[in-house]
Structure 1
Amino acid sequence: MIERATPIEQAAPPTFETLLRTVEEMDTPDGFKAEVIRGKIIVSPWSRRRYYLPMRALREQLQAHAPEGHVADMAPFLFQFPAAGRAYGPDLYVVDASAFEGEGRHLDGAELSLVAEFTSVSTKDVDWHEKLDVYGQLVPVHLVVDMQASEITCFSDPSPHGYQFRKTVPFGAPLPVPDPFGFDVDSSGF
């Protein structure tokens, strides 16, 4: 008998819709969120408790300057970006309230007017690269609150090639957030 290599047939990778359905059916433990990143379901913990006060301070500032009919929140919702095959649960977001009408558990990323991600050691790479690339094609304003570097960055003016504008300031300095918000973030309490 002659030995021959036998090819192993692999199933096709799951579709974006299959991944979303799987996330919806998952029993994610309390304190964790599941996101679709690079064709995989990634489960990670929500932010540490020391992040709560800066998140709350930023949410309150954003709500005060949000476009008419938009809400700022930190609730655990998954926003989908089908063209990129991604679905993220941002730390903080501002979205048109109409996005919550209807059935389903996942919201349309196109309804977002702003997202904010608070970096941690385990999520910093995804926050600064993966999410920045996807948000940069669609979401008008993206804030990265870098808790390790003690600075906040505002990205705006999305395009097919990513954000066209970027400004970084250290915590304590005012950070201009462009329209549709049009105000300076007070990061002194971060």
Structure 2
Amino acid sequence: MAHEPLSREQQLLESFLALDTPRGYRAELIEGEIVVTPPPDGDHEDYIGLLVDQVGAKSQTRMQFAGTRGLTVPSSSGGPDIHLIPDGTWAPLQRRLYRGTGSWMPCDGVSMVAEVTSTRADRDRDVKRRSYARGGIPLYLLVDRQRGSVTLFSEPGDDDYQQVVTMPFGKEIALPAPFSMTLETTDFA
């Protein structure tokens, strides 16, 4: 019995899911392109640590954090789902959102994702932002090292976020419910 040949999109998705990246590297499937990123530098990890510490200490809702948690989002082009690995993912602890999931999970129940820019900052500022909005993630926090700013995107809709607040490093930025806290960025500068 002959099998139908796989479409280009199916071949791409199967190739992506079969990748065996070296330890510390991340592979993502973004709008039909496989993107492999090397391990982050120390500054990048420091920013994530500062975020995790503040959310843990100040959030009005107990949150569970996952670093490098794989999320799937529908593609805007109708191709294979986008597979993203945010630098940080938060969900209310009582939901135990990550239990029982495989390497990739839908965005349902995720409260916030964060990205810290690195060499391909345009991807974090544009493609990932629109992808997270399409996935319905309520909050996207972008720590933009090149611009020296923190941006909070909220109210996802129409393939983008409808509200955008940007503050330079050193200024506070409010995180709405379920966090209901102020994020201090003095240590980011």
TM-score, normalised via structure 1 length: 0.83
Please say if residues 62 and 72 of structure 1, whose CA atoms lie closer than 8 Å, have aligned partners that are also in contact.
no
Within the candidate set 22, 32, 36, 2:29 is matched to 36
Distance in 1, matches of 2:17 and 2:61, equals 30
Unaligned residue ranges in structure 2 (runs of 5+): none
Distance in 2, matches of 1:166 and 1:49, equals 28
Change (3 A) 1:37 1:83: closer
Amino acid paired to 2:153? F
Please say if residues 33 and 43 of structure 1, whose CA atoms lie closer than 8 Å, have aligned partners that are also in contact.
yes
Change (3 A) 1:13 1:124: same
Matched residues, number: 177
Structure 1 match to 2:54:
61
Distance in 2, matches of 1:67 and 1:40, equals 38
Please say if residues 54 and 183 of structure 2, whose CA atoms lie closer than 8 Å, have aligned partners that are also in contact.
yes
1:82 equivalent to 2:79? Answer: no
Within the candidate set 90, 95, 102, 1:94 is matched to 90
Q: Say what the alpha-carbon RMSD is for the aligned residues.
A: 2.3
1:165 equivalent to 2:163? Answer: yes
Amino acid paired to 2:106? D
Moved more, 47-56 or 58-67: 58-67
Moved more, 30-39 or 60-69: 60-69
Matches within 5 A, 1:38-187: 38-66=31-59, 68=61, 70-74=63-67, 76-82=68-74, 84=76, 85-96=81-92, 98-121=96-119, 123-137=120-134, 138-187=136-185
- How far the C-alpha of 1:141 sits from its partner, in A, is 0.6
Amino acid paired to 1:129? D
Unaligned residue ranges in structure 1 (runs of 5+): 1-9
Structure 1 runs, 4 residues or longer, greater than 4 Å off: 65-69
Structure 2 match to 1:4:
none
Distance in 2, matches of 1:99 and 1:108, equals 10
Please say if residues 66 and 94 of structure 1, whose CA atoms lie closer than 8 Å, have aligned partners that are also in contact.
no
Say which structure, 1 or 2, has more relative contact order (CA 8 Å, 6+ apart): 2
Please say if residues 99 and 107 of structure 1, whose CA atoms lie closer than 8 Å, have aligned partners that are also in contact.
no
Distance in 2, matches of 1:169 and 1:98, equals 32
Amino acid paired to 1:12? S
Amino acid paired to 1:131? K
Distance in 2, matches of 1:37 and 1:78, equals 12
Structure 2 match to 1:27:
20
Q: Secondary structure at the match of 1:173?
A: coil
